Amino acid sequence: VEALVRWEHSTRGLVSPGDFIPLAEETGQIVALGKQILYKACRDMVELQSAGFRDCKVAVNVSPIQIRKEGFRETVQEALTRSGLSPEALELEV
């Protein structure tokens, strides 16, 4: 399973990541956005596993900016701990 993010804009409708991720990277918001995406993806995968999809993994795209940011490893660990997701069920894609 791949976690895909979309922005639902009030007047433009669904905006694809190609349109807003570069802006998030330029403004420094990508770290906070990426953290929220990671947390939600982990929680959602636990729900899927609880519904019987036990062998599923979730792939989450991360920005190189996130990876270089101090504390990235701790952010990933916290997302896993809070959600209860096994580390083996999470794949990070750059």
pLDDT of residue 38: 98
pLDDT of residue 25: 94
Per-residue pLDDT of the chain (94 residues; tens, 9 = 90+): 999 899 999 999 999 999 999 999 999 999 999 999 999 999 999 999 999 999 999 999 999 999 999 999 999 999 999 999 999 999 999 9
Domain of residue 62: give its range: 2-93
The residues that bridge with 59 in the sheet, in sequence order, are: 2, 91
CATH number at residue 13: 3.20.20.450
What is the reported pTM? Answer: 0.91
DSSP per-residue codes, 30-61: HHHHHHHHHHHHHHHHHHHHHTT-TT--EEEE
Token readout for 1 is 């399973």
| Strands 13-15 and 7-9, bridge-based pairing | antiparallel
**Cβ pair 35, 68 in contact under 8 A:** no
Count of domains forming the chain: 1
Token readout for 70 is 């101090």
pLDDT of residue 34: 96
